[in-house]
Amino acid sequence: MTQSLSRRVVAITGALGNLGETLAEMAAAQGANLVLIDQAQMTMPCSHNRLVLSGVDLASISDCEEVAQQINRYFGRLDALINVAGGYAWEPLLGGALQAWDRLYTLNLRTALNASKALLPLLLQSPAGRIVNIGASMAAKAGLGMAAYAASKSSVLRLTEGLAEELKDMGITVNAVLPSILDTPQNRAAMPDAEHQRWVTPAQLAAVILFLISEQASAVTGTGIPVLGRT
């Protein structure tokens, strides 16, 4: 595999999830230095090309600002931020809990908002800064019980578009990927009778994300790219 991300510093939130782990593995194979961020505890050690930050509450702007300081002390730079951290819930409005709306807003939008705001000063120092957010295909149209989730992911797309406009003359691109169902153990367990081979694999989605943080994607910004597999 070509070392297309050689010496670039890439931060990944939600690094312990299925997509986060796949992204980290594939980015490292392309030569990237990694900043792995998660609220849960990670057992892997830091190394010369990997900074591991556990116990980070991305809903807290002060935690995100501390992350920025640690990245600056460890690597002295940041070239890309991939906002993977997020969550999902099926919650109808009739008989459902209104708290689900606040929770999904926090998990999906506020985490990406806080991380982007806190890490922007570092990204602005990069000659080719990149931000990629994880939206969802459902941002375009919600299904039954999906209003809260779809609204939060639609907000991620609006953040992407607005931030791209704000930063387009500052050397930073901002894009989102809009996947359909990901082929993960959790989704297979929840939908055992589905046609899993039609879903998007984490590696397929990661390949699109890594393209967006590459030099080859320097002319792409403000987009929400559907990654739908064959669903």
pLDDT of the residue at 193: 82
Q: Nearest Cα to 114, choosing from 94, 78, 85, 150?
A: 85
Across the range 150-169, mean pLDDT stands at 97
CA distance 84 to 230: 22
Six token digits for residue 212: 């967006």
All residues at 6 or more sequence positions from 174 whose CB lies less than 8 Å from its CB, including other chains = 130, 131, 132, 133, 160, 163, 164, 167, 221, 222
Q: Is the pLDDT of residue 203 over 90?
A: yes
Across the range 184-207, mean pLDDT stands at 90
Domain ranges of the chain: 9-227
Q: Answer for the pair 225, 208: CB distance below 8 angstroms, yes or no.
A: yes
Question: According to CATH, what is the number of the domain 9-227?
Answer: 3.40.50.720
Lowest mean pLDDT among 15-19, 26-30, 87-91, 216-220: 87-91
Q: Is the pLDDT of residue 3 over 80?
A: no
Across the range 60-82, mean pLDDT stands at 98
Q: Is the pLDDT of residue 122 over 80?
A: yes
Q: Is the pLDDT of residue 50 over 70?
A: yes
All residues at 6 or more sequence positions from 25 whose CB lies less than 8 Å from its CB, including other chains = none
Q: Nearest Cα to 187, choosing from 18, 70, 14?
A: 18
Q: Is the pLDDT of residue 2 over 70?
A: no
pTM confidence score: 0.95
pLDDT of the residue at 75: 98
**What's the 3-state SS for the chain?**
CCCCCCCCEEEEECCCCHHHHHHHHHHHHCCCEEEEECCCCCCCCCECCEEEECCCCCCCHHHHHHHHHHHHHHCCCCCEEEECCCCCCCCCCCCCCCHHHHHHHHHHHHHHHHHHHHHHHHHCCCCCEEEEEECCHHHCCCCCCCHHHHHHHHHHHHHHHHHHHHHCCCCEEEEEEEECCECCHHHHHHCCCCCHHHCECHHHHHHHHHHHCCHHHCCCCCCEEEECCCC
pLDDT of the residue at 182: 85
Six token digits for residue 23: 């992204």
pLDDT of the residue at 81: 98
Share of the chain above pLDDT 90, in %: 80
pLDDT tens-digit series, residues 210-231: 999 999 999 999 999 999 988 7
Q: How many whole angstroms from its chain centre is CA 164? A: 15
Q: Is the pLDDT of residue 138 over 90?
A: no
